[in-house]
Structures are given as structure tokens and as C-alpha cells.
Amino acid sequence: MFKLTKDQIDSIKKIVFVTGAGISQESGIPTFRGKDGLWRKHDAMKLATIDAFYDNPKLVWEWYNERRANIFASKPNLGHKAIAELEKYVKVAVLTQNIDGLHQKVGSTEVLELHGSIIKIKCSVCNYKEEMTSEISEILPLCKCGNILRPDVVWFGESLPQDVWQKAMILASQCDLMVIVGTSLVVSPANTLPIYAKQNNAILIEINPENTEMSSEMDLVIRNTGAISLPEFVSLFKKN
């Protein structure tokens, strides 16, 4: 399946994974744009923008609490585990669009959350941030400053955290191999990461059951899921 030569494998010292909702789908977390995706059932503009939050914070919090309960109950799958295991053999970084924390839960040590984290909250006004270990009991949680707390995620129309994005660009531009797993590559600016890798002459591998915006740019395309494909990918480095 993975047509890499021994010389290619020997030359790979740094691998960057770019992961999207597809890798967590097999852990029971719905994707956004698939046939059963969240955006087919919900209006993103009423749930994932700052204007929607100010218009109806109760609705937004109810939706995120429902998603959070699902995520807390989910476990990393074989795809997440394979990426973490790969650190035994080569330097690995994960640039994820997911907000579920499953990469960290399974032991990946260098994970950049491009779109924030659903298990973190922040104040809508001041700089207060906090990580959640359990469900929020208040319907509208308030900060110590008196303003409403919000999920620490990147909503439509908001910029990515600049420190995270700068580091992601550097990692992408320095890798020898980029593996893009379970993302449609339609969301900007995360969809530019393969371009940075390509400029470093990195090998690009896409793992996705469906065609994406950048499939034609890939060196290798695996039409399967991360949970099925990634354990086999890791075995290449074990044998080496």
C-alpha cells in the first residue's frame, strides 16, 4: 500500500501529520462535511461564529456541551495510537484541526491544535483561560471579571492563534514527509500546510477515503481510513 523505497524511508527524519475530523470519526466523533456531518444538521453561522455567541450564548453553549460530552466519552483509535507509536522511530509533530484532544490522550508529545480545544474555555473579554476536567454545570458560565466564558476554539471569521500558526508553518516547512489524514483541505489557512512541506521537497501522503482539493498534488494517495492505514505505515519504520 505504502510504496516508499528503503532509501526514502532512511532519509525521513521528521514527519508532520496534518489531521482533520476524519481521523476521529472512527472514535465516534462526527465530522463536519461528510454525509452525516455536523454542518448538514446545524447552521454553522448560528453555532460557530462570535456573532452567534453574542446573539444566543445559551444555544451555543448547549451545542458545545453536547459535543463535549461525546468527546469525553470517546477513545483514541488505532490511527491516533499509530501516530503516537511512530515517535519511537522518528521525530513526529501533529498539526491538528481537531479540537478533541485525542492525540494528546494517546500520548503524542508534539501536538499543535490549530483550531483550539473544546476542553478549554476562555473569557470573551479578558485573558482568562482554563482547562476543563468535567462538565460545566452553569448554563452560562461567567468569568471572574463578570463576562461570559466561551469555548476556546477558533470560530468562522476568527484568526488562528498566531503563535501556534507560526510554529505550524515552521514545522511544515522543515519536514521530510507530511501525512495528511482525514481532512478535506478546504479550510484556510490549514490547507496551505502541504504547500510549505512541498517547498522543502517533502514527500506528501494523503490518507482519506474520499478525494480532496489537493489529491492531485500528492505523491501518494491512500483511499482508506487512518485507523486502517496508519498501523501499516508505522510498520515500515519498525522494519527499518
Active-site residue set: 115
Query: Is 225 annotated as contributing to ligand binding?
Result: no
99 marked as part of a ligand binding site:
yes
98 assigned binding-site residue: yes
- Report the first-to-last Cα separation within the chain, whole angstroms: 16
- Annotated ligand binding at 175? The verdict is no
Type of residue found at 188: S
Residue 54 is assigned to a ligand binding site:
no
Please state, as a whole number, how many other Cβ atoms lie within 10 Å of the Cβ of residue 147. Answer: 13
Q: What residue spans of the chain are helical by DSSP H? A: 6-11, 21-25, 38-41, 44-47, 50-55, 57-72, 78-85, 102-106, 162-174, 193-199, 226-239
- Collect all residues with Cβ–Cβ distance below 8 Å to 104 and sequence separation of at least 6: 111
Residue 184 labeled ligand binder:
yes
Please tell me whether 143 is known to bind a ligand.
Answer: yes
183 is an annotated ligand-binding site residue: yes
Per-residue DSSP letters for 116-164? EEEEEEEESSSS-EEE-SS---SSS-B-TTSSBEEEEEPPTTPPPPHHH
Does 210 show up as a binding residue in the annotation? Answer: yes
123 known member of a binding site: yes
Q: Does residue 100 have a known ligand-binding role?
A: yes
Q: Of 3, 23, 30, which is closest to residue 81 (Cα–Cα)?
A: 23
Q: Is 97 annotated as a binding residue?
A: yes
Query: Are the beta carbons of 67 and 51 closer than 8 angstroms?
Result: no
Determine whether the annotation assigns residue 126 to a binding site.
Answer: yes
Give the pairing type, strands 177-181 and 111-113.
Answer: unpaired
> Annotated binding residues, as ranges?
64, 67, 97-100, 123, 126, 143, 145, 182-184, 208-210, 226
Q: Please state the residue numbers annotated as binding site for Zn(2+).
A: 123, 126, 143, 145
Binding region for substrate: 64, 67
State the binding site for NAD(+). 97-100, 182-184, 208-210, 226
